Structure 1
Amino acid sequence: MRRIFFLFAATFLAGLSPLHAETLPLPDGVVAFDSPAGEALFLGAEARQDYFQLSMHFVTQDNPAFCGPASMAMVLNAIGAPRPASKMTLGLGLFDQTNVFTPATEAVKPSADILKAGMTLDEFGGMLKAHDLTVEVRHAGETSLDDFRKVAAQTLEDGDRFIVVNYLRKAIGQEAGGHISPLGAYDEDTDRFLILDVTRYKYPPVWVGAAALYDAMNTPDSDNGGKTRGYVVVGR
């Protein structure tokens, strides 16, 4: 079993290497997943169960405004939500950045509007709820670093729920605005979370300190009545 685990992780890491060579430079304090240090963090991480299902369904967002839909597709597939019909695959289709949109999600926010301006944390949570999932939306300004660390670590370890963060890139030294991506693992020894960044053409998945990530979430969310960004915990 241990050998299978290492092979699985190594396969995903190898698949990222060519992309990393073309991405933007990483700021100090942020560790690329496909680096020796990033690999060591993953292999020693205490909470990493969510990573396996998410990595099997990893996608890159189709355009600069679609980090939310890309993250939704990953989570819906990883969690085993009822799949969309597909004549091409014997009715066993997977979610993508087109069929995540349904009449119920359009009532939360039309896909045409997301294409122009992305989505807020509350809108992201509302669209997941529209897929009949159990969703907890937590604004960073209404919680604390300790609460976030505890909830995130427990979620990543149980394998049944998933956590997606909405944070301000420039707060961790990246370029530039708000972003949404799932978390894949937590390393307690270094207090770092693995962000499975869906903008693989821009940045690879990275390890970020818990405090830095919380501060990046504790920033004003665009067009959200003064509320902060934060995170979403989603389950069946």
Structure 2
Amino acid sequence: MQHLAGAGLLLGLGESWVQEADLALFHPDTQPVFDDPAYLLARPDADFWRLAEFYAPQATPCACSLASAAMAVGALASHTDTAQVRLTQEALLAAVGDPQWAAQVAEAGSGVTFEELQLYLRRSLDWMRLENAAVEALASKGIDDDALATVRTALSTNEGEPDSVMLAYYNQRVLTGDWGGLHVSPIGAYDADADRVLIMDVDRDLHLPYWTSTEALAEALVTPDEAETGPLAGETGGLIRLAV
């Protein structure tokens, strides 16, 4: 079923993509997945295929954390013996029952910090009866050779593992030219030979999955939020791996 969802997503991408003018804003290393789907077609074990079944657009402009959590937890639960539910953003938010998260992902919400995202993921996993799942965070502080090696190792460790998924908490502007805010989306694949990452962007009013280089992603992870006020001002991102 997940493979059918993924295949349908790939087949429909070309018709539903944004205008060429928007693509011109992309980082030079960023390209729509439908331009080059060969890696995914050759790798049925890539996380893309599991995540595609739960790939829904963020419910509000501030709900990327909620949409990404629903995708990641749903994909993990689909490969376990836990009770199966059709996981939606609304169901997850209600089940976790945190009024602060609800306010942060509302229409004019503030969004969540990197640390808060880890907390909400932990509570989401617990609700899905995945209490033994690990939440492993990798905060990025630079884009030198050592930092890039660390990011590549983390991506390689996650790639092809049926019991883990990874989220990126990054500055969306670096990769797509959009507003300079921090954003959360799942990672659908890591093509080590081409040194590129597939971002399954939940901001689907503007984007669908796109490839970007590991170096460009590393830059997006360490580029601070440009908001002048609020809890995310000056914050940077990182990677979060969920493993059962």
Question: Per the shorter chain, which TM-score range?
Answer: 0.7 to 0.9
Question: Does structure 1 residue 117 correspond to structure 2 residue 110?
Answer: yes
CA distance in 1, matches of 2:198, 2:208: 11
Please show how residues 84-163 of structure 1 align to structure 2 within 5 Å: 92-102=84-94, 104=96, 106=98, 109-115=100-106, 116-131=109-124, 132=126, 133-141=133-141, 144-163=147-166
Structure 2 counterpart of 1:187 = 191
Deviations 1:92-123 (A, max 9, x none): 5322111212565517x331133211111111
Give the ranges of 4+ consecutive aligned residues of structure 1 lying more than 6 Å apart after TM superposition.
Answer: 4-8
Matched residue pairs, number? 222
Match of 2:72 in 1: 75
**Which SS does the other structure have where 2:160 is aligned?**
helix
- What are structure 2's unaligned runs of at least 5 residues? 127-132
C-alpha distance in structure 2 between counterparts of 1:103 and 1:192, whole Å:
35
- C-alpha distance 93-216 of structure 1, shift in aligned 2 (>3 A): same
TM-score (norm 2): 0.79
Which has the larger displacement, 138-147 or 177-186? 138-147
Kept in 1, the 8 Å contact 2:188–2:198? The answer is: yes
Structure-2 residue corresponding to 1:233: 241
User: What secondary structure is seen at the aligned counterpart in 1 of 2:117?
Assistant: helix
CA distance in 2, matches of 1:200, 1:225: 24
Q: Classify 1:188/1:5 alpha carbon distance in 2 versus 1 (closer, same or farther; 3 Å).
A: farther
Conserved? CA contact 1:65–1:117, under 8 Å: yes
Which of 42, 58, 61 does residue 61 from structure 1 map onto?
Answer: 58
TM-score by length of 1: 0.81
How many angstroms apart in 2 are the aligned matches of 1:217 and 1:227? 10
Aligned equivalents of 1:97, 1:6: Cα separation in 2: 22
1:86 corresponds in structure 2 to none
Residue 202 (structure 1) aligned with residue 195 (structure 2) = no
Identity of aligned residues (%): 26
Structure 2 letter corresponding to 1:175: D
Q: Is the 8 A contact 1:48 1:184 kept in 2?
A: no
Q: Could you say what the CA RMSD is over the residues aligned between the two structures, in angstroms? A: 3.1
For residues 169-197 of structure 1, the C-alpha deviation after alignment (integer angstroms, 9 at most, x for no partner) is: 22224202211100011112210000011
- Residues 1:213 and 1:111: Cα distance change in structure 2 (over 3 Å): same
Is contact 1:139-1:227 (8 Å) kept?
Answer: no
Paired with 1:186 and 1:150, the residues of 2 have a C-alpha distance of 11
Residue of structure 1 in register with 2:175 after alignment: 172
- After alignment, is 125-134 or 209-218 more displaced? 125-134
Gaps of 5+ in 1: 84-90
SS of aligned partner of 2:89:
coil
